[in-house]
Chains A and B, each alone.
Chain A
């Protein structure tokens, strides 16, 4: 096999070495043998494909957490070498049970850096470049350099942003058809408890993340009136300490709540406990406090392994053509037995990112306040805008969540009645700092 003579070949005592002769023996074998089920594969090009995978292919992995650690390991052990990874987070003690690229000594360090160092030291030939940053810190030129992006994100907003970014890179020829070389595929994985999904998004050709936003229902928050007036669950008491008491009592001066600081979480715990005792509610613990304050969804290590392996497998197939790619979405559920279902998500013609978006019709009471109307927009399944910039069609700004000087200038409108600001059956333009598009909202009073 040609690969055995290539430079930088790992010595035989490397973990993962297989008797086939090279670390990637299995892949090399499949590349060299034609398949009745994969028409794209040409065994004559096997060496070129291997060389592309190892010397040219530039892979971006987003997230170095539960899925990210698995993805980095999978990609590096599949033969990808030029791997870049972005993660904003630092390592927390509670990550260590599943984020296996980190050790106790790494707690507090940036995930991206530690993960990259680990893979580079452990897997010969791997060249991982870390970015301890937010995905929104990078521009089009940055994203354009990659052949493929794999995302292991836990935030819906970040995925929406990334999806729109990759779509925006697609260029069109004179006839309006997408230019193949400008299409950067996105493989997106996600898990929650024993469930998960892996999907392939080919910007402009397949359905995109925004097309199927409804698959991810908006997170449910406890209503403020419940946590303030009629708490029943330990979570209600913790949320009260978190959302109300922190700002009111300022236990650490003006410092913002940082759930990574034990003394902050402990303060929340004590306040919540006191409130719970007062109401006779049982079950406030430090652990639960941490869970509620950090909005932790219980992570199951095996789900991450399964979903990340499916994502990495699709990445390998995409680059090497050893088999066709799945079409185009797999959902996984391991709660009751083992269940997977793979189907094609269709493009939505009125998708706000890749289609021709329709007006979003919203009804409201004329006497309700602008603040109440903004809550409706935040909870609207298609908009989910929490940092809105709302303007009338004549250009008058009703409210701007950012930047600060505009917020100050428009804050006064929040308590005003809607009917005093706009009239019924009016079109408003909505943009959002965190969302990658502008929508037209059609408001009618009821």
Chain B
């Protein structure tokens, strides 16, 4: 805590210098204690450890994300468990710009029709007409010839391309960037019938049962019993870290009641539940918009393109004002739903609606299986496929990182039964080695991995060699990854790991899979 405070002196922390299993004896304890946090990170404990199972079950029910992170010799492990994280902005690079070329709005059409290509003599002016204008004109022309349809088949797309080319006056210079941009595949694609479809990754959010604008089941309280949250239990008192040099008595007094003492501030789980409700409220309203208008509300941003300042800025204003109009329609719907379902007016405003609309195509729901379910499902998750990809099911290759998923489980089993790490006592190493192989066989059978005892034999010996040792760089790497994932989860930006990562630091390789 002292070291953390040195790095960042606004860090406000408390600690309990005890083994967690000494005061978390069952799921009820875990539920009372851990649901006040926004995220829980468990280090150097195995997924089959009873305390880990209590904590992860309680947190899963209360929807508090858990990270289980470990380093053992040259192996690293990270598992993220979250029942539901509502991602506000997945920052998907691959997303196409939202320019509505497939169904231009009135103002855009009017703006585009003001440009008459054949009357413009000045080639500099010609080559600075934004490609958006070129494509809006082209698509209008194409539609006129095709009964209002957008290009969809291959020959139709070819034909459309010819229409775009035909707009270019012969006096236009060869190197005119704006026409090059108009003919770029990624931009032509914005005009095809398929461009109207919402991409599948985005659609998943709007197809989710929770987003139904009538029922809005996302607004219902979740199954977890909120009376359990923040209940005071018989827990050891947390010691608040106070820097000695500063006049600290007042700080201690005013902050004493927070955090671990609980009660005065909103507990982590309650806050997360509220964040989710706000998310589903906005998503339901956007879904309503989508069902009425056949597209997402306009994002309102314009990528850079070859253009003169005036037409670019006018176009930018056009898009941004249309986006405001769309957001206003969504806001109405948000109000209606909020009224119907008695949602607190503090939870939304014009600005929140505008932001949700702007990021509509980047909204995602992140959900994982619980750690307990993973163990109980006996290998029904994505491990086997990942192991196969890793070459780990082939005895002649033995894979890279995947085998250590099973071996960490075997090592955990050893620790549970013997109270020490396999390989930690020199005289017992050979015995430990054969025991680990036995546990490994049991784990392999449990998760349905075929193959002989020879499969992953060398890695078993390697695991015994590691004996739970901690190497600085392995810990630093795993700590860095865990910190990154926590940041994503708390800021609800980017996509978190789904959901297990195994790193083999001997080869510097990794596998990920949804366990």
B480 and A313 contacting across the interface, CB-CB below 8 Å: no
A313 and B471 contacting across the interface, CB-CB below 8 Å: yes
**In B450-470, which residues have CB < 8 Å from any A CB?**
458-459, 461-462, 465-467, 469-470
Q: Which residues of B contact A337 (CB under 8 A)?
A: 495-498, 512
B465 and A35 contacting across the interface, CB-CB below 8 Å: yes
Tell whether B191 is near chain A: CB-to-CB under 8 Å: no
B477 and A313 contacting across the interface, CB-CB below 8 Å: yes
- Residue of A15, A20, A323, A338 with most chain B CB atoms under a 10 A cut-off: A338
**Which among A171-179, A229-237, A244-252, A369-377 touches the partner chain?**
A229-237
- Give the complex CA separation of A335 and B479 in angstroms: 17
**Which among A21-29, A423-431, A436-444 touches the partner chain?**
A21-29
Instruction: Choose from B91, B459, B505 the contact partner of A335 (Cβ within 8 Å).
Output: B91
B307 and A230 contacting across the interface, CB-CB below 8 Å: yes
Q: Show 17 residue pairs from A and B whose CB-CB distance is below 8 angstroms, ordered by the A residue.
A: A25-B469, A27-B471, A29-B467, A38-B506, A74-B476, A281-B313, A300-B484, A302-B487, A308-B476, A313-B471, A313-B473, A314-B508, A323-B507, A330-B508, A334-B484, A340-B510, A342-B509
Given contacts A337-B496, A337-B498, contact A33 B465 (CB under 8 A): yes
Q: Which residues of B contact A340 (CB under 8 A)?
A: 503, 508-510
Tell whether A238 is near chain B: CB-to-CB under 8 Å: no
B484 and A306 contacting across the interface, CB-CB below 8 Å: yes
A194 and B494 contacting across the interface, CB-CB below 8 Å: yes
Given contacts A230-B308, A305-B483, contact A74 B472 (CB under 8 A): yes
Chain B, 72-110, contact with A by CB distance < 8 Å: what is the 0/1 string? 011000100000000000111100000000000000000
Q: Which residues of B contact A20 (CB under 8 A)?
A: 469
Q: Which residues of A contact B309 (CB under 8 A)?
A: 230-232, 279-281
**In A267-313, which residues have CB < 8 Å from any B CB?**
279-281, 300-306, 308-310, 312-313
Tell whether A322 is near chain B: CB-to-CB under 8 Å: yes
Tell whether A100 is near chain B: CB-to-CB under 8 Å: yes
A306 and B481 contacting across the interface, CB-CB below 8 Å: yes
- Residue of A27, A29, A279, A342 with most chain B CB atoms under a 10 A cut-off: A29
Q: How many residue-residue contacts, CB under 8 A, span A and B?
A: 152
B313 and A306 contacting across the interface, CB-CB below 8 Å: no
- Residue of A233, A334, A339 with most chain B CB atoms under a 10 A cut-off: A334
Chain B residue with Cβ nearest A326: B508
Instruction: Choose from A36, A232, A335 the contact partner of B307 (Cβ within 8 Å).
Output: A232
Q: Which residues of A contact B90 (CB under 8 A)?
A: 336
B466 and A30 contacting across the interface, CB-CB below 8 Å: yes
Instruction: Choose from A25, A37, A38, A233 the contact partner of B304 (Cβ within 8 Å).
Output: A233
Smallest CB separation, B397 vs chain A (Å): 13
Instruction: Choose from B74, B496, B501, B512 the contact partner of A322 (Cβ within 8 Å).
Output: B74
Instruction: Choose from A35, A280, A281, A309 the contact partner of B473 (Cβ within 8 Å).
Output: A309
Q: A281-B313, A312-B472, A330-B508 are in contact. List 13 more A-B contacts (CB 8 A).
A: A26-B472, A29-B467, A30-B74, A74-B472, A230-B307, A232-B307, A232-B313, A326-B507, A326-B509, A334-B484, A335-B91, A335-B494, A342-B509
Tell whether A114 is near chain B: CB-to-CB under 8 Å: no
Smallest CB separation, A94 vs chain B (Å): 15
Q: Which residues of B contact A77 (CB under 8 A)?
A: 472
Instruction: Choose from A74, A301, A338 the contact partner of B501 (Cβ within 8 Å).
Output: A338
Tell whether A61 is near chain B: CB-to-CB under 8 Å: no
A316 and B473 contacting across the interface, CB-CB below 8 Å: yes
- Residue of A25, A33, A36, A300 with most chain B CB atoms under a 10 A cut-off: A33
B509 and A26 contacting across the interface, CB-CB below 8 Å: no
Q: Which residues of A contact B312 (CB under 8 A)?
A: 230, 232
- Give the complex CA separation of A303 and B479 in angstroms: 11
A324 and B507 contacting across the interface, CB-CB below 8 Å: yes
Smallest CB separation, A324 vs chain B (Å): 7
Smallest CB separation, B168 vs chain A (Å): 19
User: Top 3 A-B pairs ranked by shortest CB distance?
Assistant: A305-B480, A309-B477, A302-B484
